[in-house]
Amino acid sequence: MRLISHRGNLNGPIEERENSLVYIDEAVYLGYDVEVDVWKVDEELFLGHDIPQHRVNISWIQDRARKLWVHCKNVEALEFFNGLTSNINYFWHQEDTATLTSKKHIWAYPGSQPIKNSIAVLPELLGDNISECYGICSDYIIKYNI
């Protein structure tokens, strides 16, 4: 099962650290994939959930591409990643039941399970059935490391 840290969180949300480069690297170092929120504003990339907060360059993302799940937070970010020829796994969603990532993984909104071979996002929120999932994205991802 693919274990994906939500914004770098491992054992509960720490909002002031979420989507920061050091926090993400800590989760990657421990072997987890990480879902990151990416914005494109005035030709620059930023990490941040509700607003662009942490400036990041494309080489930082490309160096970690095999471990990152890039959630495009604005259309400009989506267009940017769609125009690349690199191996970055990116997606756009808001409150859709599910969306496909650029690598054809089903990214499912909380409460949408079971969806066979999908990524269950925050399954702990609504007690989602994760028995048929390909992966889990959680703020408490350590709990799923069985």
Structural domains of the chain sorted by starting position, each given as residue range(s) with its CATH number in brackets: 2-144 (3.20.20.190)
Report the chain's C-alpha Rg in angstroms. 14
Q: Is 29 exposed, middle or buried (0-12, 13-18, 19+ CB in 10 A)?
A: exposed
**Backbone conformation region of residue 76, classed left if phi is above 0, alpha if psi is from -120 to 50, else beta:** alpha
Average pLDDT, the chain: 96
Q: How much is the pLDDT for 30?
A: 97
- Position 83 confidence tier, pLDDT thresholds 50, 70, 90: very high
Quickly list DSSP for 122-138: STTTTT---TT-SEEEE
Average pLDDT of the segment spanning 69-95 = 95
Residue 95 has pLDDT above 90, yes or no: no
Q: How far is Cα 119 from Cα 74, in angstroms, rounded to an integer?
A: 21
Q: How much is the pLDDT for 146?
A: 72
Q: How much is the pLDDT for 145?
A: 87
In this prediction the pTM is 0.95
